[in-house]
Each structure stands twice: as structure tokens, then as C-alpha cells.
Structure 1
Amino acid sequence: MRSSPSPQPARRWARAERLDADRMAEALHERTGVRLTVEGPCPGGQVGAAYVRWPDGRRSVLKWRPRARVADLVDGPIAVSEALRAAGCPVPATELVEQVDHAVVTVQELLPGSTLDRLDAHGLEQALALNRAFAGRLADRPDIPAIALYLREDGPGFCLHEPLRRHGARAAALERWVTAVGAAHPPAMEGEDAVHLDYHPGNMLAVDGTLTGVIDWDGAGRGHHGFDLVTLRFGVHVEGTGPGVEDRLDEVLDALPETVLRPAWAHMSLRMVDWSIRHHTPADVEHWLDLAARRTD
């Protein structure tokens, strides 16, 4: 009697590396002589950040970016944040940057406020106003790299295509659509605006309903500021909103040029579905596939 074949085990995809704050603080001490005291993890985030205290008592935020080089962060994301700070935007200063093995470790200014658990109509209008302030901010900085979209090839630890191809019919169809959009558009964003790349309520700080800062600029670069509004639309889909917020944001997206909206939607669809396949549950994957389907064809 022939036995039936054994089922194949589920593919174990690579997961994001997490910050070991104590180890990174010790590495900074060895390299710079600065002794930072780790106080505990910051809430939210996908790869981790931690509150630290300087010897003089000041508090800051310790972050890291794996598989990165100091020069690339200084010439890209840090240059973007400094350009925005010079224009008066509420962006944290970078206080220390150091290469630690394959990662870049940064210490950033701790801005006042706490992250938004829920974006209401008042918060959305503030986020839209701040986003408009990003427009044209890099007009005199052609040296800052444009943000790659990764619609036809894998990104560095995110926007991976193979997980979608292997996950199921819906995800595979989405990946084919993303690749087709990539074939019809440039591989990187066009424009002279500052782009955050992860502009969602979890990266916005507020005090008593007033926006006090935007954090986590590690992926920032050059492009069209409308891209961040697509990111925000995906962000409110999971983090919750007040009445009318999603409809208002959809109206704003409808007014974006198709040359911006279409590749941005493809990027975020790929990014969120891939991440959920590798880190979250099948229900989460369906959650993002449902949103992605609203603007695919």
C-alpha cells in the first residue's frame, strides 16, 4: 500500500532583527566613551527603540538600523531631517551616530508628547498641514537620494516579493500587479519634497491633541510628499480613526496625480502584505490584502 505524501512544512521567512539596547549602549561606550543608561523600550515600532539617559541627566532615544552604513544615513535620512528642522518642522535632532558592526546606531532628541493611539479629524488636519510643509524642502539638495520603490525587486529587509508569490492566490495576484506598476513607472520617486516613508499615527507625537513632533525618520529621502499620505492611509487602517477620517483622507488621495498615487499604493501594498506574511497572522495578511484591493485593477 502506497502512503500519501507528507504535507510540506510552512515556509519560515526571515524576520526583522530587533534592537538589543543594552548591547548597543555598551558598544557606543566602547567606541565613543559616552556612557548611556538604558531606561527601557519605547512603545511601538518594528525593530525597536529605547529610552536612554546621558550622564548629565538628559533623556534621549536610542535607535538602530541594521544592514546600514553611517555615510548613507548621514547623506540621506539625517540630511532630510536636518533640512526640515532648519525650516522649523518638529523633527528630532540626531545627537550621536556610530557604526556598530553591520548596523548604524543613533541617539536622537526626545521630543515632548506621546504617540497617537487614534487619529481624529483635528489630528488629521494637522498631519495634512505638516505634510504640506514637506513640499519643496529638498529643492536645493539634489544630493539627497530619491527613495527607491522596490516594485520590481526586493527591498533591504522589506518589500520582499517572494513571500507574496508563495502565500496564496490573492497575494500572488497582488505581487503581479505591483510588478506591472513597477514596469510602468521609474524605480525611485520623483520630486523635490521631503518624504518620511513611515508617516502614520504611531510616529506622530502630540500633547493635548496638538501635534508636537514626527519621529522615526530612518527611511527618509527625496520624492513627492503625497507618498506619505498613502502611508498614512495604510496607517489609519490598522490604528483606528475618528469619524470621517478615512473618507477625508481618501478624498485627498483621489486628488494626487496618478503618477504618484499608483506607484505609492503599489509600494505600500507590497510592504504591508509582505511584512504581515513574515511577522503576523493569516488574518493580518487578509486585512492588508483587502485594503490593497481598493485601488488595484
Structure 2
Amino acid sequence: MLNLARQRGLPVPAYDLVAEVPDATAIVQERLPGSPPSRVDRRLVEEMVALHERFAGLLAGRTDVEVPDLYLRASGPGFCLHRPLELHSARSRRLLAWVRDVGAASDAVMSGADLVHLDYHGERAVDASGAITGVVDWDGIGRGDRRFALVTLRFALSEPGRDETLARWVDGLVDDLLDPATRRVSWAHMSLRMADWAIRHFGPGDVDHWLDVAEAGMDR
């Protein structure tokens, strides 16, 4: 898939080696010019939004490429786990109930023929001289709706210490560009992903923060 993207002129790395090692998969990827951005600002976010549009239709006809499972009905493989939300608190159980309700709908499946980066945010960009020279870390990849990346980006911009005005700006794009069903499914996935991860790896303040973010978009 990345070779196809490269042939279309997209700034993605070549994967020189993918090897199975004990308990992991090792990936050696091409080093692109530039470095990780020193800060995620409006210019970078605007460039990432524009760049993601170039993933449109890239996998048309490639029905052999899987549509990503969003794990709204059952736990994922090491992330998007349901059980931690069941055990943590009444608040997390309410969120999980909403996620499962979204997942039970007939339209709770990603559709489309775009190339989708499932962890698309500022730290995945490579930046040189004020311009994006690449997007890296494609081990979360699939065929579907590229606009899913906007919801991922919006959640990343809500990390503690970020400029919330950028998150609000991406919120407007999400509302304008995604139909309600697609937005709801994407929001449910990211809410589950971030809440589960915080419960298992971070402190109570982080958990409350991600529950706040999740709840802010549940009824929109």
C-alpha cells in the first residue's frame, strides 16, 4: 500500500524490512528528510489536513485490503479494550455503553476506498524548512474513509497542554466534512481507544481528562 502511495507522489517512507522477532514485529523504514516537528502549530495542522486529502481513492478496486475493525462491539488486540472501562467507574461504564450502542448500528463500519492512517497526528509528520516532507509510522493502516484521520488528529490536539483553539478549529472541519454517522463511529472508536489506554497506563487525572474529551462529542 505504501509503495502505491509513493508511486502517486505521496510523502511516505519505503519499508526496507519487516521481520517477525520474538513477541514483536521489527520494521526498518526509510529515513525521510527533516525531523519531527518541534511544535504542533496551526501551520502544521493545516498542512496535515491538506495532505490527508491526497489519500482519497488510493485503494479503489483493492478489495483485498482489509477495512479496519474499530472494536466498538468487542475488545481489540491489546488496545481498545472494553473490560477496563467496565471495571473503572460508573462514568467509564456509561461511555462504554454508548460506544457499544454506536457499534450496534448497521452503519458502524468504516467504508470507502481511501488509504487510512489510523494514528494520524502531528508527531507522525516529518518537517523540514517549514513544510511536511513525510508521514511515518504506518503500522496502523487500512482501506476506508480518510476523514477518520481528522478525528484522530482532533483527539491528539486535546492532549493536556495543547492549544485548545487548534482542537476547536479541527472540530469545525469534522462537523463540516463528516456525515453524522461517520463522525459518531470515528468518535466512539477514539473515545474507547484513549479512555482504555489512560485507565491502564496513566493516572486518575489523565483518565478524567479523556473522559471529558469523549463526553464532549457524544451528543453532537
Cα distance, 1:234 vs structure 2? 0.5
**Given the alignment of the two structures, is residue 145 of structure 1 paired with residue 78 of structure 2, yes or no?**
no
Instruction: Give me the whole-angstrom Cα distance separating, in 2, the residues matched to 1:237 and 1:223.
Output: 24
Unaligned runs of 5+ in 2: none
Higher relative contact order (CA 8 A, sep 6+): 2
- Following superposition, the deviation at residue 259 of structure 1 comes to 2.2
Match of 1:168 in 2: 89
Shift of 1:244: 3.8
The residue number in structure 2 matching 1:98 is 19
Distance 2:82 2:144 in 1: 23
**SS at structure 2 position matched to 1:221:** strand
Tell me if the contact between 1:120 and 1:241 (Cα under 8 Å) persists in the aligned partners.
Answer: no
Q: Which structure: larger Rg?
A: 1
Identity of aligned residues (%): 49
Aligned partners of 1:260, 1:118: CA distance in 2, in Å?
Answer: 29
> 1:99-143, CA deviations, whole angstroms, 9 ceiling, x for partnerless residues?
223432221101122223432221121111111001111113121
How far apart, in 2, do the equivalents of 1:239 and 1:252 lie? 21
* In 1: Cα distance, 2:125 partner to 2:76 partner: 25
Q: In 2, Cα distance between the equivalents of 1:187 and 1:100?
A: 35
How big is the shift at 1:83? 2.0
Q: Is 1:226 the counterpart of 2:147 in the alignment?
A: yes
SS in 2 for 1:131: helix
Aligned to 1:291, which of 210, 213, 216? 213
Structure 1 residues not aligned, in runs of 5+:
1-78
- Structure 1 position 208, deviation (Å): 2.9
Moved more, 192-201 or 240-249: 240-249
Does the CA-based 8 Å contact 1:118-1:239 persist in structure 2? Answer: no
- Name the CA distance, whole Å, in 2 between partners of 1:112 and 1:281: 36
Q: Pairwise CA RMSD of aligned residues?
A: 1.6
| TM-score for both structures, normalised by structure 2 | 0.93
**Match status 1:262 vs 2:172:** no
Partner SS for 2:20: strand
1:280 equivalent among 193, 202, 211: 202
- Paired residue secondary structure (2:157): helix
- Note if 1:180 corresponds to 2:113: no
Instruction: Report if aligned partners of 2:84, 2:196 keep a CA contact under 8 Å in 1.
Output: yes
Q: In structure 1, the residue corresponding to 2:158 is in which secondary structure?
A: helix
